[in-house]
Every structure is written in structure tokens, then in C-alpha cells.
Structure 1
Amino acid sequence: MGALQWDMVVRGHQGWRLITCIWLHGGLIHLSLNILSLLVIGIPLERKFGFVRIGVLYLVSGVGGSVLSALFLGRYMSMGASGAMFGLLGAMLSELLVNWTIYNNKVVVLLLLVLLIVPNFVLGIIPHLHVDNFGHLGGFLTGFLLGFVVLLRPRFGWQERHQLPEHLRVKSKYLPYQLVLFVTALALLIAG
């Protein structure tokens, strides 16, 4: 019914399953956990960056999770939005790194991300839970790289540069490390 199965994607030429599996869930608890995660993670990101950026990030991360899952879980079926959710977490981490100078509570934000990410990966190790850690990892890596590209913000003072005295004006829109991370992530996404 649209779940991710390697043989259906490869032998059955049903590539659409890489996308449709993102919107399927394995029960009410699975659906509830993904909705809760989306409320906690997705809404704040959408408020900060807009629905287009976060929508693209969510969809591409979900497909990235599906691809890695299909590559490593060949005979198993997979479904759920966890890859896309982990993509949002990866994007949050890359956004923290690329906009490091903007945050006042860097350690608190980093600790919050670790507390969200690590337990979910640990749950994937427990065999009888049937959690697709490859989908999580693929979504996280895709979101992490894509976050450097789509969540880049101008440096502090760029918006107000015309209102500041000449000696305090910011000359470039982005810091050098932001540009390096942007170009590196874009190259990895294209190569991947």
C-alpha cells in the first residue's frame, strides 16, 4: 500500500514508494509519536524559517532516509516519518553550527538536540521494536547537509547595516565559515 520495500522499488520499478512511505505509519502509537515530534520540532522551525524551506527540508530528508533504509534493509518493510523528523533534527544541528554567533545559549540548544537524538537512536538498537535506524540516519544526514544550504541566515548586523555608523557597518552578508559550510554541504548533497 505504499510502504518501502526494496524489491518493489528496484524490481517492481515503484520509486514512488521512497516518498509515500513517509506518510504511512505502523499504528496509532507510531503516528502519535511522529505528530508529537512534529509539534515540538517542526512548528518552531517553520516559524523561524517559513513553511517552504522546512517543507523542502522535510520532504528531501524523508526521501534521504528512505533511500538509506532501502539500501540497508533490503528484505524488510519500512514506513513512517521518522527519517524526515530526524532530517529536521539534523537541520537544527547544522543551523546551530552555521549561525553559532547568533545564539546566546549554545550549550542548552546543543544539549537539547543531543537529548532528542541519542535516545531515538538507542531505541533503534532494540531488536523487537523494529525501529528503522537506517531511515533515521539517512534522514539525519540529509537534513544536516541540507540545513547548511537552506537555513543559512545573514550575519548579525547585516539587516541594520545602513542604520549603523560607518566604522560599525558589516561588509559581507555571511561569515567565511558559513560560506565554506554552504559550499561543502551543497557539493556533498549533489555528489550523494
Structure 2
Amino acid sequence: MSDGARDVQVHSSPAVAANAEGEEIEVLESTDVLPVAPEDQWKSLFDKYDPESSGFISTERFRDLLAAHGSELDPHKLEVLLALADGNADGKICYQDFVNLMSNKRSNSFRRAILQGGRQLKGTSLKEEVGLGLSQRLVRHIAYETLPREIDRKWYFDSYTCCPPPWLILAITIAEVAVFIYYGFQLDRWVLQVSHPLFLKGPLPYHPQLRAQAWRYLTYVFMHAGIEHLGLNMAMQLLVGVPLEMVHGAVRIGLVYVCGVLAGSLAVSVADMTAPVVGSSGGVYALVSAHLANVVMNWSGMKCQFKLFRMAMALVCMSVEFGRAVWLRFYPPAFPPCPNPSFVAHLGGVAVGLTLGVVVLHNYEQRLQEQSLFWIFFCVYTLFVLCAVFWNVFAYGLLDVKLPPTP
């Protein structure tokens, strides 16, 4: 059969026509596990096993196809494809499903085969694999640290290429360190910078007198009260945020982080109306609390070593940092009547992490658009933001709040 005839046959298949009418198989994750293999190769292969042009091939023919062409596939990919064949209840695999799978696109049919079919991978577990290099062992460790199921760990381990690298958390951390060093030289102070009279005069920190400058609700994240404040936040941000970004991607982690940062400053403007805000604790606490909540929710499946010890250490770090913030808030201010920065941003970050963050990070496979809980929490969060905005516009005047002078 010529290439032209083959193309005509492919484009006239019922599955392609159905797909054109809107019956789409939603793609959950895309990876680069396979060697270079154009999608046309899989289309041609499907036609070979579907001579009737029905748009479907039986699971028996699918097994024959895997037996003939399995050498072209990664061993773990071959395992999950065989699991799909074994767990397919209707005995048929449609054209679009086939192309999605062979082109490294994880589809709903794969998820149904694994979850509803109760199938487990038959090969050696990821933890038992030997001969791994340092980078591979690191990726495996992160998989066990953040993912509760072996099928997800194997898929992540096989597909992770460090491209793109976890740039978001690293970039935020570098920016925070750079700003701290800049103010350290400018103020000639490294410990408790917040006690310097010029600390709040910059364009970044949130101050209640300057709440009309909307960017301050986010940019306060780059300012820190002192080197101990920066050190604790930076340690938690890197140790938790980078592995989470390697697994869930910059978009999801960025969403949780930014929502935590914004919720932190808005929570201060509502609950601690006279206090300024500095530090990345809102975003950091959102990530850490979401991760810890997922570990608790999937306790039996999380097989990382010393997980109880690590959870305890994370809680200790959070408690120490929060205790420092509470102490600083009620410590006599260096320049009254302006109070020291508020600790309420920490609580706003925790609230985001335990609600929106848990949903965003809970399911490695699903897109956010498929999760009803995500939309519920997102709507609640949006409502909170709108209420906080109205509060900032009207409540200060109605309550006749006496604000500290402009820095």
C-alpha cells in the first residue's frame, strides 16, 4: 500500500471522524519516554492491524502488535501497555487511544485500566532496581517522596528528563537572596533589618498606608525581616518546593505559591489591619502544608524512608519560623507607632495549602480542569479575594482605623 493510500485510509477511519465531531480522549500527561517515533508510524501500524478500517483493534491483536514491536518500547512502557490490554473490559482499543498511548500520551483509558481494572505492574518495583546513577537515584527518591502509587512512580521515573528544570522555585529563591543582599549593603544591617527606619520605604513591602499600590500584595515576598527569617524560609522553600516542582511542574506549584502569597497579605489586611508584611512565608507555608497533607492522606502508599521523622522536622521548622514571627510581631517596635510585621500571612498560606493546594497536588494524573473540588476551592478562594478587596476599599474608613504613618 502506498503512503498516499495509507493516509487516505487513516483519515477516513471512523475514530478520526468521531474525534472531529468532538469525541476527544483527554490527554493527562505527555512525556518523552519513547525513542524518536513519528505519529505517522503508529497510524500506519494501526492500519496494518485494522484491515477493515473499523477504527478499532481487538486486545488480542494489540497483544500481537506489542509482541512484534515491543522491542521498540521502553520496558516499563511495555508493562503498562500490557496492563491496558489485560484490563480493557470491552476487548477493543480505539484508534485515538492507540495513537495517544504509542505517542506517549497518557489517556483516560489507561487510567481506567489501571485503577478500575485493579491491575498492578508485574515487573520489578522501582525501589528494587539496581545500577542507577546518582541523578536517577535522586529522581527515584523524589518519586517515593511525593507520589503514593507505584504506577505513578514508575511513569514519572521513566518520563522525567529534567527539561525544563525546576526553575521557578530556584528563580524565586535567588531573587529573594539578591534583594536581601541589596538591602543588607544599603542599610548596613543583616540581622533584623526590619528595625531599620529605611526598611519599609522601598517599593516592595506591604504597608497598610500603601495598600492602594496593588503590587505590594505580592512583592512583599522578596523582603525579609532578617537573615534568620530568610534562612528558614529559603530552607523550606528549596527542600519542599523544588521536589514538588520536579513532579508537578511549574504551573501547579506556581499557582499554589502565588495563591498562598496573595492570601497571606490579604489575610493581614483583614485580620491585622495596622501591620506591614514581609517574607515569603505565605507561599512557603502553602507548599509545605499541601505536601504534608498529601503525605497524611496517602500515608500507607508513601513509602519514603523516615517519613515520620521528615514530617516532624518540617513541622518543627514551621513552628520555629511561626514562633519567631509571633514574637517579632508583639516585640516592642523600634519605631513606634509602626508595629513590626504581622504573622497572619503564615496562617493564610496554611489555609491555601490545606484546601486549594491539596487538590492541585493530590492527583498526579488528572488535569485541574477535571477536578470538581479544585473548582470549588478555587471559587471559595476567589470569593475570599473579592471580599478582602472590598474590605480594603471600605472597611478602613468605616471602622476609622488609626494606621501607622507612611514610612
TM-score by length of 2: 0.36
Q: Aligned pair in 2 of structure 1 residues 30, 112: CA closer, same or farther (>3 Å)? A: closer
Q: Is the 8 A contact 1:87 1:139 kept in 2?
A: yes
> What is residue 111 of structure 1 aligned with on the other side?
312
Of 53, 69, 76, which aligns to 2:275? 76
Match of 1:137 in 2: 347
Partner of residue 16, structure 1: 215
What's the % identity of the aligned pairs? 27
Larger Rg: 2
How does 1:1-80 map onto structure 2 within 5 Å? Answer: 1-9=203-211, 13-80=212-279
SS state of the match for residue 74, structure 1? coil
| Residue 84 of structure 1, CA deviation | 1.0
Q: CA deviation at 1:85?
A: 0.9
Equivalent in the alignment of 2:137 = none
- Structure 1 residue 97: Cα displacement: 4.2
Distance 1:97 1:188 in 2: 24
Count how many residue pairs are aligned between Structure 1 and Structure 2.
167
Determine the C-alpha separation between the residues in 1 that align with 2:351 and 2:222. Answer: 20
* Alpha-carbon offset, residue 135 of structure 1: 0.7
1:131 to 1:57, Cα distance in 2 relative to 1, 3 A:
same
Letter in 1 for 2:255: V
Alpha-carbon separation, structure 2, partners of 1:24 and 1:87: 18
Task: State the shift of 1:180 in Å.
Answer: 8.2
Counterparts of 1:90-109 in structure 2, within 5 Å, are: 90-104=289-303, 107-108=308-309
Q: Which consecutive residues of structure 1, in runs of 5 or more, have no partner in the other structure?
A: 160-172, 174-178
Change (3 A) 1:148 1:38: closer
Instruction: Say if 1:76 and 1:32 are closer, same or farther in 2 by CA, change over 3 A.
Output: same
Q: Is the 8 A contact 1:25 1:79 kept in 2?
A: yes
Pair 84,115 (structure 1): closer, same or farther in 2 beyond 3 Å: same
SS at match of 1:92: helix
> Structure 2 CA distance, aligned partners of 1:93 and 1:187?
23
Q: Which string of whole-angstrom CA distances, capped at 9 and with x for unpartnered residues, describes residues 62-120 of structure 1?
A: 11111111222322221111111111112113322444452136644543443233333
Inter-partner Cα distance in structure 1 for 2:225 and 2:277: 9
User: Per-residue deviation at 1:31?
Assistant: 2.9
Secondary structure of 2:362's counterpart equals coil
TM-superposed deviation, 1:7 = 2.6
Distance (Å, rounded) in 1 between the aligned partners of 2:345 and 2:301: 31
CA contact (8 A) 2:268 2:275 kept: no
Against the structure 1 CA distance between its residues 46 and 5, is the aligned structure 2 distance closer, same or farther, given a 3 Å change threshold? Answer: same
Q: Is the 8 A contact 2:204 2:220 kept in 1?
A: yes
Q: C-alpha distance in 2, partners of 1:113/1:80?
A: 18
Instruction: Name 2:360's counterpart in structure 1.
Output: 150
Q: Closer, same or farther in 2 for the Cα pair 1:180/1:110, shift >3 Å?
A: farther
The amino acid of 1:96's aligned partner reads V
Higher relative contact order (CA 8 A, sep 6+): 1
How far has the Cα of 1:191 moved from its partner? 3.8
CA contact (8 A) 2:229 2:321 kept: no
2:320 corresponds to which letter in structure 1? P
Code of the residue aligned with 1:6 in structure 2: it is: P
Could you say if the C-alpha distance between residues 60 and 186 of structure 1 is closer, same or farther in structure 2, counting changes exceeding 3 Å?
closer
In structure 2, the residue matched to 1:125 is: 326
Deviates more, 1:26-35 or 1:48-57: 26-35
The Cα shift of 1:190 comes to: 4.1
Structure 2: state its 5+ residue gaps: 1-202, 333-339, 385-407
- For 1:115, the aligned partner's letter is V
Partner residue in 2 for 1:189: 381
- AA of the residue aligned to 1:71: V
* Cα gap change, 1:95 to 1:191, in 2 (>3 Å): farther
Indicate the larger mover: 40-49 or 91-100: 91-100
Q: TM-score, normalised by structure 1?
A: 0.71
